[in-house]
Structure formats: C-alpha cells, structure tokens
Amino acid sequence: MTHTIQPSNPEVTPAPGSTDVPATTAPGAVPASNTVPAALKRRVPKYSDLAPLMQFKKPEFSKEARLKRASTIWELRDMAKRRTPQAPFDYTDGAAEEEITLRRARNAFLDIEFRPGILRNVSSIDLSTDILGKPSRLPVGIAPTGFTRMMQSEGEYAGSQAAEAAGIPYTLSTMGTASIEDVAAAAPNGRNWFQLYLWTDRDRSLELIERAAKAGNDTLMVTVDTAVAGARLRDVRNGMTIPPALTLKTVLDASYRPAWWFNFLTHEPLTFASLSRYTGTVADLINSMFDPTLTFDDLDWLRETWKGKLVVKGIQTVEDARRVVDHGADGVVLSNHGGRQLDRAPIPFHLLPEVKEAFTADNSDAAIILDTGIMSGADIVAALALGADFTLIGRAYLYGLMAGGRAGVDRTLQILEKDMARTMALLGVSKISELTPEHVRLLDK
C-alpha cells in the first residue's frame, strides 16, 4: 500500500487585536524571524568600551624605530634612496647599459611557483648549513662590494660586524674602502673571506693574497668577469668619481641629505684601502688596473699560491663551471656581477639547475653559490631548492647600510631570516636539506 504524506501548512491566526498580517510561508520552509539580535541593536558606546580600542602610540622618530618599520628589502631601498645622494645610490642600484640583465634576474625569482607540502611538523625551523667546510647560521653571506664607505660611512665595518653577529661569512672586496687588516680587527670572530681581482702586476696580487691569509681569511674568491668595465650609464650620467666630486649638482643634492655629507666629511677620507691611493672614474680604474689577458693558466697559479678554499666568481655557463673545478676550484659563484658587466648576460637562477645536474653527473662536491637578483628570503629558499648550496647578497645588504648603517644591515639580515623561516614552514620543510627541486616550478611565460 502506498502512503502519501501531505506537507503540513497550518494556518497562522493573528493574536486578538493584532494588526499584523501573517507572512505566507512556502511549504517546508522555516518562517523568517523579525527579531533583531541584541548584539546588532544600536546603542550609545560607553567609555569603558572605547578605552581598550584607543591605543594611541607615542610617535617614534629614532633610527631604530624607523628601521623596525621596514618589513621588506624594498622598503629599506626606499629609505636608502631618501638618505643617500644620487651618485652613490645609483652606483648601488644601477647596472650596465639598459639594465636588462638586472631586471631579468629579479623577474626570474618572480616567475616561479612554490609547491608546498602539508601535514608536516614545522614547529621548529633550522636555517643553518655548511659552506666550504664550515658552518653558517644562515644560508646567505655578504657579497664583495666596492667603495662601500661611499654608500654610508660605516661601510665594510658595519657589514663585517653584522655578519659576525649573524654567524655568516663576510666577503671584503679588493676595491673595498676598509683594509683587510682593519676588517679582521673589526670582526675578529667573524668568518672573513677576501675577493681578489688578478692584476697584470702579479707581485701586487701576491701581496694581497699573503695579507688575506695572515689576517685569517679562510676563503679566496677570485672574480673573473671584469676583463673590461661594463657600461654603467648611470655612473656616466652622474659623473661618478672616487672620491665624489663637489660639483654644483652634488652640492644641491647634498642639501637634501645633510646626514650623509656630515658623515662623509667628518670621517677618514675614502681610499681603496687594499690598494694604493687612486682617484678617477670607476671604469677608468677597472680598465687601467685589471688584466684582460687572464686565462686558466692564471687560475692554476692562484690554486698553487693560495692554500685555503678557492672560489671562482662570475661563472655564466655550465662548461666554465666544470672547467674551473677541474682547475682546482672548491666552489663556483654563479653570477653576472649583478648585471653590471655584460647586459643580456645569462641569469644565474636559470643556470642553476643545469650546473647542479652537471656537478651531480661528475660526482663533484664543489660548492654552488648564487648571487644576483636576491631581494627576499623566499628568493633564497627557491635558490636552495633548485640546487644552490649557498647564496650571497650585495644590493640588499647595501640598501640596509644606506638606510641605517650597522643597524640597517642587521635589519636586512633579520628580514631575510624571517622570510626564509616563514617560507620553509609554509612549504612544509623544517631544514634546508629537505628542500628539493620538487618544491619549485619555473613558470612558462
């Protein structure tokens, strides 16, 4: 037998004396309520309710407060631009010719997709690693930069001391404005590396090598991509010289940045501390001092001369990466000099997987270090996932330096460390050794 159940729809009868007209309710529907929840009824706010919300902070104008408000390297760059004259800022910020290489290097880190894993225990993140036989608390070091005290008067002293405090390597440039010995004294417990340009005059190169060894530097980083100077057009337009020339333009520029000029004029004059005194343009210095005749024979000489770790910086092809290792290098730095030499040069981040594959095929344990374009901790994590053993920052560190001296460099490293830890946690990895190419996908344009 089939039973048909009719939906109930009882008639609603208004209460006696009511003028309300009953709403028509669809069969099976719940009648709408006209009752307003107590929480949504309007009322006059009480002071006791408002007081907890009125948390007016006292304005802070100190350097520390200003730096603390920066949460990205780009924000430190904005601060640096406001506080630094145009010529030294552009020297840091710019690149060669049309600056195509620099834009591509930065975009390379944007054109990726992270692939996170879930349900992993990431309550504790370990960012430590080993590089060239020694530990580093973070997988990033400070790259060699020239004329650093021109950017901000604390220069190499701020960089080396911040690196020492962070437990990471610091690399002093041949074209630095603090001597090998002074940097060693400023950061006696730091891991100091020295970057070398091989000159035509081998005796002067040998002198620097001996000084670096005596000062306790355990790694020599030889740069090989400066046969001639790149066409850094911003420097040409700014009339960039060492030391800066006091033209009408620079005097007007200084009026907006008195702190920089006060520091510049009241500290020791700028010189290339590892070299003899030199004045002139950056390009003239490179073209007159560095050797365009360098070959792999010179690398063999350097390997015989230097007894510590040897790294070759400026590698831009897989073939050259393999060859310098065959000639005794302990590691390579995939770098196009921050886009400051050959425009339209290969992008280190794109080259990285190929070099890693080649080294794996060769059973090589040579270190792969990457620089150029790094502006966040996420960039560093992506590089590590695709095969880098370590990374270096140049511009990112200098932006912090120009924004606030030593405190600004500290802030740079704090931002990068926080970025790295957060990115790794969201990827579902708790230590660097767990990163693999599976965590990063290069997007097709």
Going by their DSSP bridges, the two strands 140-142 and 134-136 should be labelled as unpaired
Torsion of CA 243, 248, 251, 255, to 10 degrees: -160
DSSP code at position 290: B
Q: How far apart are CA 229 and CA 287, in angstroms?
A: 6
Whole-number Å distance between alpha carbons of 140 and 131: 10
Whether residue 416 contacts residue 393, with contact meaning beta carbons closer than 8 Å, is answered with: yes
Query: How far separated are the first and last CA of the chain, in Å rounded?
Result: 68
**CA–CA dist 165, 14 (Å, integer):** 80
Which is catalytic among the residues 3, 327, 337, 439? Answer: 337
Which amino acid is it at 397?
Y
Alpha carbons 103 and 105: distance in angstroms, whole number: 5
How far, in Å, are 24, 92, 140, 279 from residue 248 at the CA level?
85, 22, 40, 20
Task: Looking at 331-434, list the stretches that DSSP marks H as alpha helix, in order from N- to C-terminal side.
Answer: 348-361, 377-385, 395-427
Q: Give just the sign of the alpha carbon dihedral 24, 26, 27, 31.
A: negative
Q: How would you label 355-374 residue by residue, b for 16+ Cβ within 10 Å and e otherwise?
A: bbebbeeeebebbbbbbbbb
Residue 181 in tokens? 């010995």
Task: Specify whether the CB–CB gap between 12 and 22 falls below 8 A.
Answer: yes
d(CA 89, CA 257): 12
**Phi-psi region at 245: left, alpha or beta (left = phi > 0; alpha = psi -120 to 50):** beta
For residue 222, give the H/E element and its range.
strand 219-223
Q: Catalytic: 350?
A: no
Instruction: Write out the catalytic residue numbers.
Output: 337
